[in-house]
Structure 1
Amino acid sequence: MFVFRLLIRASLLYSSLLLLHACKKIEDPANKQQTLFFIDYRHLAGGSDGIAVMELDPESPDFGKILHKTELGKGVLPHHLYFNRDEKRLFTTALGGSYLYELKMEWNHEGYPVIYQVNPVNTGGNTVGEDIFFTRNGQYWVTFMGGKGGIRDGSVGVFNAQNNQLIKTISASVDEHPDKFIMYPHGISMYEDKGLAMVTSTIHPDLTSGLGNTCTLIDIHTFDIIKTYRVADSAKDLSSPVEVLLLRNEYPPYALANTMIGGDIWMAPYNAEAHQYGEFKRILKGATKGLGWALEFYIADDKLLYVSFGQPGKILVFDLNFLPELRQVRTLPADKGAHHMAFFKTKSGRSVVAVQNNLLNLPDLNAGTIDVVDINTGEKLGTVDMRNKYQLLPESIEGTLGKAHYMHH
């Protein structure tokens, strides 16, 4: 009996030690978890596309190491990663496959997240998922660049954020409604306090059948289209707006849009009396700075605006305190196809941005790297060559602890 009690006590002690050890293994890496990132990737060697977890602190011995991979399938082409409002659930849109996925994740005892379940979301026939915006009223809106598959198509899906059920598909043909239409929508942004959403018209998903040159304003309560704005010099100028950012919170209420063709930035003021935006005017011409393919808007914790330019691969940084003047404060280096960004601090406390350099594997826009750059000095601290190291192309990037920016779209 005495021996039996000793064995029980020893077993309990051993279990307690195992639990303490497990907790310690989770606790120890906590300081570096902010330097781990989800990377949507395309497989270049015929394998499945998916999502990787990668260490991106150049001061870490694991810099550039893939800690975990989740496969989504061949040809899925995951495209943009998003956390929901409370940063508890992770989603990715996709250009193929089921076009939209919820990713169930948990943290393991090694201190990094593992996606243990991939749930395709029923998009109701909407194709080619692009951007997502999560609203305060329990919805999320998704742009579908392919719409229901037509040549001049496109749609916006409104989903219940709790159960992923499609609530409404917003669409309107340019042929039937030339002043209020949605075509090839890619970017989306909202100013919820004013009840407004805006989407861009970019390019047909096959990249050859058509280009857009507009942004469309939508009432987020009624789902009605209010107005379609030209973001170009003329109707024949197919500028291909990529992203739109409706400035909100502490910022003056301007709408910003960037364009692939020309690499320009356009801006429209908010008209409170009309309860809509005024006309767009170009405020930066990329060609005058040797830049093309303006791709993304981010505002970091320093409250500066970061804009990526795929050619030749640069990040321009602007101070928004001088609007309507867009005052540039610095330029940061990147590689060809400079695209999505994520902001964090290294172990020593340096404020950096990780820049994902690739756009759809297009020529001269597909470096296939991730650069980590000091946002204050512009020093490039490290580069992960995913193309050559892993035979993978990075498609987008997001933090593993939540949104790695102050404001995106």
Structure 2
Amino acid sequence: MRHLKSINFAIVFLTVIAMGCSEVKKETSQSARDSDLNTEESQAIILLSGLPTLDTKDSIAIIELDPESPKFGHIIYEYALPKFDAPLHHLYYSPNGRLYATGLGTQCSLAEIALVRDVNATPIITGVDCLDTGGQSVGEDIMWHSVNDKLYMFVTFMGGTDVKQADAGSVGVFDPQTNKVIKIIEAPKSQVGEGKPYIMYPHGISAYGDRMVVTSTVHPDLATGIGNAITVIDLNRFEPIENIVIEDAKPVGFPSSPVEVLFIRPSIVQDVEPAVLVNTMFGFETWKIPYDKQSKAFGTPEKLYDGSKENTGVPLEFYGNEEELFISHAIPGVVKRYDLKQLPNLVSSGEDIKGELGTHHMIFYKTASGRKVIALQNNLLNLGNAADNDPTDIDFIAKVNAHSITVHDLATGERLGAVNFKERYQKGIDNIEALFGSGFVHHH
């Protein structure tokens, strides 16, 4: 599949779905709320992309997201990023609180961000250190995981060590203290031999014990190829041992493109039977793969959710708190919620939370009055369209970018506020995380 830009049917199909589906604790006194406005719980750290026609630049910012605050939507602090060949993409906090970002290009595919406090205890950024990845490029997801009592930082690189390769992709194993590369796990499909386990366009990543799973999503150029499987990696040897195809119908005519993956495990749900959940970006589905922890064998994949039947498309992220699992669907821009205790099965725990086109990442926090809320970042990828020259001409991506954050009551889904970054700041929003990492329990 070499011409992803020529996806007219896909665009029409997804647009029809989007059009057809678009649709408290007691407050304290005003003075009490005002006195709490400087608390950081309702502040988020975000990645912003400059838009060429609007002459704006990439940056990292801290923003106030308490809809009860007169400063709602205000950028409190902004740090200008150097000009890289592609934007930074995802923010992650390590177990000890260090802040990292992956990047979609080759010049800065993995970085550590120095988020600190100044002499007044105000959060600031003092630098961005692009790390040596051993030649790996187009970073996506990060996971910290212990193997045989040793902690590692694992990073998926969709471009592997040669982004021009048709079946590119690798998983980097890093020392979490020094950020040094320990090993590059790479197994191009064209080189391992027929029927042998491969790694191709890895994006999502999750692990339990000595087994890690990564997805095969799409080539970084969005044109050369699309995957339809996950790869199982033996963490005792850091080698791929199995591929599992995750695909059924092809609602837009493309391979399923598994994107994010979550290994359901006892650290998430006590006494749970382990299993892997997989979202397929172009299949519009969520799948379950049973896992036997005694034999370390994966069972037959089972489709749990079919977006073609439910009028949703492009499922993306897995997030959760102590009670629920949340799955974002970029089209029509909704978050579906499920009872955490019922995992790995998907049992609805409430009505959809309705964001805007491109609903993607999210954080959870409380307002000054104690109201529990969820903030949704509504952008698939900040890549724009040909008419705006912002900054590519991939129309499919442009149709699932609202350039916004919407804030909702967590219990009812009621929208409490919205910030459109293209209108207000002339920038696109690529990612959102809670300031100092307090905004989620489970991620991916």
In structure 2, what is the equivalent of residue 122 of structure 1?
132
1:270, 1:278 within 8 Å by CA — same for their partners in 2? yes
Question: What amino acid sits opposite 1:141 in the alignment?
Answer: F
In structure 1, what is the equivalent of residue 50 of structure 2?
43
In structure 2, what is the equivalent of residue 375 of structure 1?
410
In structure 2, what is the equivalent of residue 313 of structure 1?
333
Matches within 5 A, 1:169-248: 169-175=184-190, 176-177=192-193, 178-191=195-208, 194-233=209-248, 238-248=255-265
2:321, 2:441 within 8 Å by CA — same for their partners in 1? yes
Which deviations, in whole Å up to 9, do the C-alpha atoms of 1:301-326 show, x marking residues without a partner? 3x211000000100000113334531
In the superposition, relative to structure 1, how do residues 120 and 325 fare at CA in structure 2: closer, same or farther (>3 Å)?
closer
Larger CA deviation: 222-231 vs 398-407 = 398-407
The match for 1:135 among 137, 140, 145 is 145
SS in 1 for 2:39: helix
In structure 2, what is the equivalent of residue 347 of structure 1?
368
Which deviations, in whole Å up to 9, do the C-alpha atoms of 1:187-233 show, x marking residues without a partner? 11111xx2111100000111111100111111223202121110102
The match for 2:171 among 156, 175, 188 is 156
Aligned counterparts of 2:314 and 2:175: Cα–Cα separation in 1: 34
Question: What amino acid sits opposite 1:107 in the alignment?
Answer: R
Aligned counterparts of 1:182 and 1:70: Cα–Cα separation in 2: 35
Aligned counterparts of 2:409 and 2:121: Cα–Cα separation in 1: 25
In the superposition, relative to structure 1, how do residues 311 and 48 fare at CA in structure 2: closer, same or farther (>3 Å)?
same
1:85, 1:135 within 8 Å by CA — same for their partners in 2? no
Larger CA deviation: 41-50 vs 279-288 = 41-50
In the superposition, relative to structure 1, how do residues 339 and 271 fare at CA in structure 2: closer, same or farther (>3 Å)?
same
SS in 2 for 1:207: coil
1:213, 1:241 within 8 Å by CA — same for their partners in 2? yes
Matches within 5 A, 1:70-85: 70-74=79-83, 75-85=85-95
In structure 1, what is the equivalent of residue 312 of structure 2?
291
Question: What amino acid sits opposite 1:138 in the alignment?
Answer: L
Q: Note the residue ranges of structure 1 that are not aligned, 5 or more in a row.
A: 1-27
2:117, 2:123 within 8 Å by CA — same for their partners in 1? yes
Which deviations, in whole Å up to 9, do the C-alpha atoms of 1:349-384 show, x marking residues without a partner? 111111000011312211000011111011000001
Matches within 5 A, 1:53-132: 53-74=62-83, 75-87=85-97, 89-96=98-105, 97-108=107-118, 112-132=122-142
In structure 1, what is the equivalent of residue 434 of structure 2?
399
In structure 1, what is the equivalent of residue 157 of structure 2?
144
Aligned counterparts of 1:385 and 1:110: Cα–Cα separation in 2: 31
In the superposition, relative to structure 1, how do residues 217 and 387 fare at CA in structure 2: closer, same or farther (>3 Å)?
same
Which deviations, in whole Å up to 9, do the C-alpha atoms of 1:334-354 show, x marking residues without a partner? 000000011111111111111
Aligned counterparts of 1:131 and 1:95: Cα–Cα separation in 2: 11
Larger CA deviation: 72-81 vs 166-175 = 72-81
Aligned counterparts of 1:273 and 1:189: Cα–Cα separation in 2: 19
Aligned counterparts of 2:39 and 2:361: Cα–Cα separation in 1: 21
Question: What amino acid sits opposite 1:384 in the alignment?
Answer: V
C-alpha displacement at 1:106, in angstroms?
1.4
Larger CA deviation: 290-299 vs 171-180 = 171-180
SS in 2 for 1:163: coil
2:56, 2:427 within 8 Å by CA — same for their partners in 1? no
SS in 2 for 1:328: coil
Question: What amino acid sits opposite 1:202 in the alignment?
Answer: T
In the superposition, relative to structure 1, how do residues 242 and 30 fare at CA in structure 2: closer, same or farther (>3 Å)?
same
The match for 2:378 among 357, 367, 370 is 357
C-alpha displacement at 1:72, in angstroms?
2.1
Aligned counterparts of 2:298 and 2:93: Cα–Cα separation in 1: 28
C-alpha displacement at 1:403, in angstroms?
4.4
Aligned counterparts of 2:278 and 2:81: Cα–Cα separation in 1: 31
SS in 2 for 1:34: coil
C-alpha displacement at 1:71, in angstroms?
2.1
Tell me the TM-score normalized by structure 1: 0.88
Tell me the TM-score normalized by structure 2: 0.82
2:174, 2:183 within 8 Å by CA — same for their partners in 1? yes
Cα root mean square deviation, aligned: 1.8
Aligned counterparts of 1:232 and 1:116: Cα–Cα separation in 2: 45
Aligned counterparts of 2:336 and 2:354: Cα–Cα separation in 1: 9
In structure 2, what is the equivalent of residue 261 of structure 1?
282
Aligned counterparts of 2:328 and 2:249: Cα–Cα separation in 1: 25
In the superposition, relative to structure 1, how do residues 142 and 325 fare at CA in structure 2: closer, same or farther (>3 Å)?
closer
C-alpha displacement at 1:276, in angstroms?
3.0
Q: Note the residue ranges of structure 2 that are not aligned, 5 or more in a row.
A: 1-34, 383-396
Pick 1 or 2: higher relative contact order, CA cutoff 8 A, min separation 6.
2
C-alpha displacement at 1:112, in angstroms?
4.1
In structure 2, what is the equivalent of residue 8 of structure 1?
none
Aligned counterparts of 1:220 and 1:31: Cα–Cα separation in 2: 44
SS in 2 for 1:32: coil
> Percent identity among equivalent residues?
40
